[in-house]
Structure 1
Amino acid sequence: MEPRSEVANGGEDADTIALASSNSSFRLEATRMELPLLRFWLLSIGLLTGLLLSLLDTSIVATSLFTIGSEFNALTSVNWVALAYTLTYLGCAVLSARISDIIGRRNAFIAFYIMFLIFSIACGFAQSLAQLIACRAVQGIGGSGLYSIAMIVLLEVAPERLHKVVGGIIAIVITIASILGPVLGGTLTRYTTWRWIFWINGPIGVVSVTIFFFTWPRSEYLPDIRRKSWKELDYFGSILLIVASTMVVFPFQIAGELMDQWSKAIFIAPLAIGVVSWFALIFWSILVDICWGDMMDAAIPMRLLRDRVYVSVLLNTLFLGFPYMLVVYAFPLRLQIVNGKDALTGGIMLLPMLGSSAVGTAITGALNSKQNRVFESLLVATISVALGCGLMSTLSASFEVEPKALGFLVFIGFGWGIAVSIASMVATIHSTHEDHAPAQGMMAQVRVLGGSIGIAASSAILGVFLQERVGSAQPRQVLPPQDDGASSTEGQYMAVRQAYSDAFNKDMQVCAIIGGIAVLLVTGTYSRKRLTLAERQTNSKIERRKAARSSQRLVDETSV
């Protein structure tokens, strides 16, 4: 048993927690000291900057792949620059959260940050495509840690009155990164060199991690969480989770790049491995829970999977990640090809989605500050996303941008802002102190998983339409984005425009269907008798204090 002083975050000075119950109301009489607001916001700058950089690198290369592929004379393989980062970023979210339970939140965040920065700079100095892909894979592991740990720490250190705000801030950062990534990548590539896409992380990251290090609070401002040991880590379950996540995305990405692969081993084999790995992971988690629950922390704790509300929100997050990330990637590309806009304009036209996302997060915090309206909030969010996607499928192939498209984006952004806020809130209040890190990590991982599947599915759909209309699954061979059709005939140009327009509309139809399924999943969060969020937070704190006292008693007994 680890000593009580060895905690994942630090000690806690609160001595007494009592629960007074009257008409279903609860009162917390003493808690840990609250972090001063100034120090919290400074710490948040360090955390949110790391979160932003990790998210930016999922999409910043999107508008630069043609330039990178041309320099290395490897256009057919250049998509691996994006895919390598995405797969490791996706696969390691829960594992990195678990590692933070072992070495501590601060140490883990700094370690993953350093890994991210070193390999970002290495990407900029790559002399071959193989070197670049390898560095991007390791960079993705670092980015995964920044992503999941930042969300965990923000909710753990935030003063209680700001808990309802934190989820909204995270949603806004995710949206900003999604919009800014392709724009920043295109701008840097156009006016400097593609290598600055990776080098820019260096100076920004050094400042960010320095702020984080010097504003990290003392132990009395942190929740009392027992630090785990390496022998408690579920190594086999973590490997299964990584394989399951990556192998489901990989075949769809390949199918989008190379046509006529749907019935071949390159598609079927990894997909089968992914599906089998998911079933094996669930079986293994049940086995760990039954046989070794006191000695090992399962990669996916069964305690979380027994919580109906948490599982419903988890699945809803998975399904909403699909349409949101697909829109973020596909809509700017449609603007460039169908409407003749540049990458910068394409990013700017996503701003209505960013603004409505901020509004959604603000409304969520206000609605749930005193009453538990998780079901109603998530229902509105999911319907809004599904409706927005359905309306987007009605866009025509006209050269001029239809103003209604920007209005449809408002629906998607509004729903997304609410959904991310609710997911962060539920992961916090529906998990015990021991499961807080994996609860947030799983939410983060399924969000990326859904988005990755959405992007891969969009690539596959686009490939089908290009094959039918143009006879090529490689659009760059016909219409390089930066040439605006200069290298193709007028007929080819019009065929590619129509293919992109039709593929996008099909994407949106698929997204509307996925959104409809997500609406059904929201019903799992409904309950007649609901504790308010404040009551759930109080129960969580009491449970954490009891566990800490139990741990202390065991330490005292073993030391006698």
Structure 2
Amino acid sequence: MPSSREHEDAPSAEASVVPNIGSTRLHLIILGLWLCLFVSAMDTTIITTALFRISSEFYALDRGPWLVTAYLLAYNSFLMITAKLSDIWGLRTILLAFNGFFLVFSMACSAAQTMNQLIVFRALQGIGGSALYSLVFVTIMKLIVPDKIAFYSGVISSVFALANLSGPLIGGAISDHTNWRWIFWLNGLVIPISMAILLSSMPGINDNKSTKERLRGFDIIGGVLSVCWPVPLLFALQEAGVSYDWNSGVIIGTLVTAFVLLTFFIAYESWASYKTKIDVIFPARFVANPAAALLLFSMFLLGMPFMSMFIQLPQRFQGVNFVSAERAGILLLPVSLMTPVGAMLGGLLNKKFPAECVLLLGTAVIGIGTGLLSSLPIDNGIADATYGYEIITGAGLGLASTPYYIMLYTSVEEKDVPIGTGILNMLRTLGGAVAVAICSALHNSVLHEDLSAFLNAEQIAGVKASGTFIARLPEATRIQLGRVFGRSYNKQFKVILAFALLNFLVAIALAVARKKKGIFGKMPIRTLENEFTKIDRKHEGEKEQAVTARANETTERIEGTTH
């Protein structure tokens, strides 16, 4: 297999841009980024096991799920525009600002006196969390030297596995043993540490431009539309089949609204890309470029098994094997721990092999793992093979997550990398939301078809509404119910398998497209200065001297031959 180094071009700008910070400062910045991303990611899950306690205190059990929905809607909708804001005020300023924003509304959540206040504060907290998620990856793309981007992306990606694992456990422990407001007070302990580290270690932007100059050409209309269309779409995907039927007016109305706004967004961004000098939120050239378009589509497909693994698998443990939420989190340990290990392994492989090959390997392993999980027994005992299947799937998810950022750097112009990073992150979360919506619809369909054979209408409603109701059913009925749930989850993972296999085919098409474009296996080469890099003037001078010397030698040889 050819090394990625053999495929590099060697333009004159190579090695002319070098880091301007030392290794100690680098690792301090990584620590600060890791901490702020960890609390941002954990806040998507920490509240899930405390919903009943919080909602009961406000006498609002029916509105409890909105504490999760409000955060996720904001979290997923602001990924693109917050990535773009770093071009205006610089990463240090914007990261510190949104750390502060997230901290303020975390404290507001802890002080909420009504359910409506808490829901509103959770949505605003979600905006801060979205910015932290997006900006951390933009920082990694600018901070890390190209041949180490994959490895450090893997280190940062370990946040999500640990947050998915620890969030529900910490939330449940706080809810059971102390005041639920500590869920938000925890952010008040971690975020100031993160801010202090970033404030002391991150350099500011120094391009000699005023804020007014950087704001000139900012895509205000595109920015507003980039936030507006995901909100109704994600609301429909999260609530359809749960709070509302798919054919209800609420779901149809929000889906139509999302489609109309998305159409406006695409039309406006296409027009602005080619007819104006606006620095657009979503460059149309991304879609016109097959290498970039396939990369984005592949990331969307990667989000489907990723989210399904951390959402559907714990539910399977609870619904089929009748374990507690805490036990389900422990049973998820193999995939939770293997994902960051796979990501760091992928980072190392990307240094020796083309990123396209690492992506192909990762998507193939995901397909194998997902297929195995779709064949789990439907009895209430937990098969030993489950842990092996989780390890395989986690390794695949980790391996596949790192090549995207390397290939993004060589698929688009360097100045488009920050917004491209935001788009990649948004598409992964959007793919996950679509997958969860599909799984939810399949689950409800299976329950509707199979439960009527041994449960009456009242019991079916109870099964769909409460795990406590299931626990009160007779043992024989629970065993039957567990088998129905088992068939449902196996069917869900078969559908996710189909998307995983589609991603493998897309990865092949991506490799072919990059080969045709001449960028297969190419490592990124940084040519633009930013907060963390500078032009290596000494190297440039030495290079010019070497070129001059070679030119003189050639001239002398020609003259000698002539004489």
Partner AA of 1:263 in structure 2: N
Superposed displacement of residue 318, structure 1: 0.8
Mapping for residues 69-468 of structure 1, pairs under 5 Å? 69-160=55-146, 162-217=148-203, 229-258=214-243, 261-292=245-276, 294=277, 296-371=278-353, 373-468=354-449
Partner AA of 1:350 in structure 2: L
Superposed displacement of residue 219, structure 1: 5.9
Counting aligned pairs with the same residue, the percent is 28
CA separation in 1, counterparts of 2:7 and 2:509? 28
Superposed displacement of residue 77, structure 1: 2.4
CA separation in 1, counterparts of 2:382 and 2:209? 53
Counterpart of 2:229 in 1: which secondary structure? helix
CA separation in 2, counterparts of 1:231 and 1:279? 26
Superposed displacement of residue 151, structure 1: 0.7
Partner AA of 2:430 in structure 1: L
- 8 Å CA contact 2:151–2:345 kept in 1: the answer is no
- TM score, norm. by length of structure 1: 0.84
Bigger mean CA deviation after superposition, 354-363 or 402-411: 354-363
Partner AA of 1:418 in structure 2: L
- 8 Å CA contact 1:428–1:440 kept in 2: the answer is no
Superposed displacement of residue 161, structure 1: 5.1
Deviations 1:241-286 (A, max 9, x none): 2232222222232222236x22222121211222233232222111
Change (3 A) 1:507 1:246: farther
Superposed displacement of residue 121, structure 1: 2.0
Q: 1:537 aligns with which of 507, 525, 543?
A: 525
Counterpart of 2:241 in 1: which secondary structure? helix
- 8 Å CA contact 2:150–2:405 kept in 1: the answer is no
- 8 Å CA contact 2:89–2:205 kept in 1: the answer is no
Q: Which structure is richer in relative contact order (CA contacts within 8 A, separation 6 or more)?
A: 2
Report the counterpart of residue 517 of structure 1 in structure 2: 502
- 8 Å CA contact 1:314–1:443 kept in 2: the answer is yes
Bigger mean CA deviation after superposition, 349-358 or 282-291: 349-358
Superposed displacement of residue 44, structure 1: 1.0
Partner AA of 1:230 in structure 2: L
- 8 Å CA contact 2:282–2:419 kept in 1: the answer is yes
Partner AA of 1:380 in structure 2: L
CA separation in 1, counterparts of 2:166 and 2:485? 22
Q: Give the gaps of 5 or more residues in structure 1.
A: 1-20, 548-560
Partner AA of 1:400 in structure 2: G
User: Which of the pair is proportionally richer in helix?
Assistant: 2
Partner AA of 1:537 in structure 2: I
Change (3 A) 1:463 1:65: farther
- TM score, norm. by length of structure 2: 0.84
CA separation in 1, counterparts of 2:185 and 2:331? 27
Change (3 A) 1:77 1:451: same
CA separation in 1, counterparts of 2:471 and 2:199? 51
CA separation in 2, counterparts of 1:160 and 1:68? 46
**Greater radius of gyration (CA):** 2
- 8 Å CA contact 1:370–1:532 kept in 2: the answer is no
Partner AA of 2:260 in structure 1: V
Superposed displacement of residue 186, structure 1: 2.0
Aligned residues: 517
CA separation in 2, counterparts of 1:279 and 1:358? 37
Change (3 A) 1:162 1:236: same
Q: 1:46 aligns with which of 28, 32, 46?
A: 32
Change (3 A) 1:316 1:35: same
Q: Give the gaps of 5 or more residues in structure 2.
A: 1-5, 536-563
Task: Note the aligned Cα RMSD (angstroms).
Answer: 3.0
Partner AA of 1:64 in structure 2: A
